A and B are shown apart, each in its own frame.
Chain A
Amino acid sequence: MKVFFGIITYILLSFVVLPCAHAADLDFGAIEYVPGAGNLNAILDPADGSLSCNRPNQYTCQSFGTPGSTLITGTPGDVVSIACRNTPDIANGIRTLKIAQANIHIDNTTHDCKGLNNSVTNHTISGVQVQDTVYWGGKLKVTGGTDNLSGYFSSTQGPGGQSQRIRIIFQ
């Protein structure tokens, strides 16, 4: 009987543990600004990492940033639902900047995040890394002038930083 329960427990655990590996953080890269510049919208496309900024005379963005990415691992054929926070923040310890509309890209489609309780798409696990990776991007907004804007902003830089959270719901 003990052996029986041991085997059953082992089998159940193998199904219950479905890891979701974190691959890379999102990075808008270095953005140069002219002191006194107006509001900035820097949009990072999760599909290809391309970065576009308004006000080209006041802000200089790189052509590409790095989309955030998360690899979903599980049993091929299993279907998962994906939900994500729609407004993560980055901070430099003094100022906080909003990523106003986070979005994710998987299965060749981009979806706007709607909060952790609202699934935005379903995905069938393929077992192929590139197909099972969720990429995320969004619109970084600078409002309220360029005071204290210089420096490194990150979601882990407190106070004010808040990472993107992606919820994978196994059905």
Chain B
Amino acid sequence: MIAHTKNRQNTLRAKLTIFTLFVSFAMASHSLDTEVGASATFVKALSITGNSDMSFGVIQYTSNNAANEITLSPDGAISCTNNSDYICPPSGARGEVKFSGSAGFELEISCEASGAISNGSEIFQLDAAAINIGESTYNCLGTGSSAAQYTLTGDVESDALYLGSRLNIPETGISEGGEYASDYSGGDPITIRIVYQ
């Protein structure tokens, strides 16, 4: 009986010791550490490393020429809808833009769908512009709408896009002839916009 009471007292003492330690711990000030991550992404500024203009080449026409649609595709091939009044070359020079930036980062590319070429007095409209990049062709939708996404490879030859378009000769045909270009008065080049996504 005495031993049993002593055991109970020891148990109670032990519990009170634990309780006291617990209270002491709870009363003491304590701290908590938390980790918060940080990040930044560095990208090399995009630069144009080379570009060349589109050229439909030399197009021959008869004196009584009428409307024609001359399409220069982004692979350089030329096709005409009116082959009776015109002799179109089989190929021209596609437009080319080479660019450089941080490899592995994705670009968003947009381009104007239309433009114009002029000889200073007579103006012909360009439309249906399209680009080829990464072996795929995309229609231009204006600089406010993404036409294509492309991931930079870091390879100077691969990181390039090619431009084609359609030249519209109206029903009245070509009256003056000569060289027509977007640089001349009334001309309007096709703008291409390349930005990091």
Q: Are A153 and B39 in contact (CB under 8 A)?
A: yes
Instruction: Evaluate whether A150 and B37 lie within 8 angstroms (CB atoms) in the complex, with A18-B32, A168-B31, A170-B30 already known.
Output: no
| Residues on A with beta carbons closer than 8 Å to the beta carbon of B103 | 150
The answer to whether the Cβ of B4 comes within 8 Å of any Cβ in the partner chain is no
In the bound complex, residues from chain B placing their C-beta under 8 Å from that of A166 are: 33-36
CA gap between A168 and B34 in the complex, in Å: 8
Most chain A CB atoms below 10 A, which of B22, B36, B104: B36
Interface size on B, residues (CB 8 A): 29
Cα(A167)–Cα(B96), bound, Å = 56
B29 touches A26 (CB 8 A): no
Q: Let me know if A30 and B35 touch, CB within 8 A.
A: no
Contact between A152 and B39 (Cβ–Cβ < 8 Å)?
Answer: yes
Question: How far, in whole Å, are A90 and B41 apart by their CA atoms in the complex?
Answer: 10
Q: Which residues of B contact A130 (CB under 8 A)?
A: none
Which chain A residues lie closer than 8 Å to B34 at the CB level? Answer: 20, 22, 70, 165-166, 168
Q: Is B26 an interface residue (CB 8 A)?
A: yes
User: What CA separation (Å) do A142 and B103 show in the bound complex?
Assistant: 20
| With A22-B34, A35-B44: A5-B15 Cβ-Cβ less than 8 Å | yes
The interface residues of chain B lying within 8 Å CB-to-CB of A149 are 42, 44
Residues of chain B within 8 A of A26, CB atoms compared:
36-39
In the complex, the chain B residue whose C-beta lies closest to that of A67 is B36
Indicate whether A103 reaches chain B with its CB closer than 8 angstroms. no
Q: Are B22 and A12 in contact (CB under 8 A)?
A: yes
With A16-B26, A151-B104 as contacts: A31 and B37 at CB distance below 8 Å = no
Decide if B3 is an interface residue (CB 8 Å cutoff). no
A residues lining the B interface (CB < 8 Å): 1, 5, 8-9, 12, 15-16, 18-20, 22, 24-35, 42, 60, 68-70, 88, 90, 97, 99, 116, 136, 138, 140, 142, 146, 149-156, 163-171
The 6 A-B pairs of least Cβ separation, nearest first, read A28-B40, A25-B37, A154-B39, A68-B36, A150-B102, A163-B35
